[in-house]
Amino acid sequence: MKDRHGVKAVHTKSGDISADAFVLCLGVFSPLLVEKLGMSLPVYPVKGYSVTVAADDLPISPTLGGVDEENLLAYCPMDKRLRLTATAEISGYSTNHKPSDFSVMLTKARELFGDRLGASAIDYWAGLRPMTPTGLPIIDRAPVDNLFINTGHGHMGWTMSNGCARMVADMIGQKPLAHSNEGMRYGK
Ligand SMILES: Cc1cc2nc3c(=O)[nH]c(=O)nc-3n(C[C@H](O)[C@H](O)[C@H](O)COP(=O)(O)OP(=O)(O)OC[C@H]3O[C@@H](n4cnc5c(N)ncnc54)[C@H](O)[C@@H]3O)c2cc1C
């Protein structure tokens, strides 16, 4: 909901929420909400796949996350589980998946961690990375008063989350930015 002073409230299932400032951070859905405000955001879905397996199945389970650069396979230990991710697919907003979508990833993962990877169970998942054409997120004031943008982090959203949150907090607090948003401006 917007009036001539900017965004007044966000309409939610639990009622309207009003605030002094609003941050747009809806991942791949960010462009869809602000279309109504006349804004155009170059953020597009890039699908990725992930499996989570039991660490106990592996002869040696890593204690730190890492990336197999040659095979573009990332892994992250999560207590008694190991989560792996790979693949970038441009195929719209669907998060559907089937077992064969994971076969290349599992083959590469077993080369790294042994044939028993996934022996007891495998959780399959697919999600959408909010990508921009430049690969950089959009961190800026919107052309609508009291609306700020923090979206489009693509495959690095977790990694960049603290730095980007700091930049947006500085913008809202009207402080000098701790990190420059050069190359991450709206419409530039
Ligand atoms: C397979 C895969 C692997 C990844 N691996 C890594 C990695 O190793 N390291 C890394 O740094 N990043 C990784 N990422 C990227 C990271 O997950 C994203 O960049 C990050 O989640 C983006 O955060 P976000 O908060 O902007 O969007 P999201 O995490 O997508 O959150 C947006 C939220 O807004 C909600 N929402 C959307 N529209 C509405 C609406 N109209 N009303 C209410 N709520 C709404 C959504 O439900 C969602 O909860 C990976 C992504 C994928 C898909």
| Amino acid occupying residue 8 | K
CA-126 nearest atom, ligand 1: 1
pLDDT at residue 36, rounded to an integer: 87
pLDDT at residue 163, rounded to an integer: 96
Same domain membership, residue 111 and residue 80 = yes
Same domain membership, residue 65 and residue 23 = no
Rounded-to-integer distance, Cα 116 and Cα 118, Å: 6
Contacting residues for 123 by C-beta, under 8 A, at least 6 apart: 51, 52, 53
Q: Does any domain span residue 11?
A: yes
- Report percent pLDDT > 90 for the chain: 93
Pocket of ligand 1, candidates 16, 32, 156: which has the most ligand atoms within 8 Å of its Cβ, to mutate? 156
Pocket of ligand 1, candidates 26, 82, 161: which has the most ligand atoms within 8 Å of its Cβ, to mutate? 26
CA-128 nearest atom, ligand 1: 53
Q: Does any domain span residue 188?
A: no
Mean pLDDT, rounded, of the chain? 95
CATH of the domain at 143: 3.50.50.60
Residue 93 domain boundaries: 44-131
Q: Is 25 in the pocket of ligand 1 (CB under 6 A)?
A: yes
- Using the structure block, give the residue that is written with the tokens 């000098």: 176
Q: Does any domain span residue 94?
A: yes
Q: What are the angstrom distances between the C-alpha of 34 and each of 26, 127, 159, 165?
A: 10, 22, 25, 20
Q: Is 85 in the pocket of ligand 1 (CB under 6 A)?
A: yes
The predicted-structure confidence for 136-163, as pLDDT tens digits, reads as follows 999 999 999 999 999 999 999 999 999 9
Q: Does any domain span residue 113?
A: yes
Same domain membership, residue 54 and residue 71 = yes
Same domain membership, residue 105 and residue 31 = no
Q: What are the angstrom distances between the C-alpha of 99 and each of 54, 57, 128, 150?
A: 18, 20, 18, 34
The number of folded domains in the chain is 2
Same domain membership, residue 114 and residue 55 = yes
Measure 4 CA to ligand 1 centroid, in angstroms. 31
Indicate if the pLDDT at residue 89 is higher than 70: yes
Q: Is 33 in the pocket of ligand 1 (CB under 6 A)?
A: yes
Q: Does any domain span residue 69?
A: yes
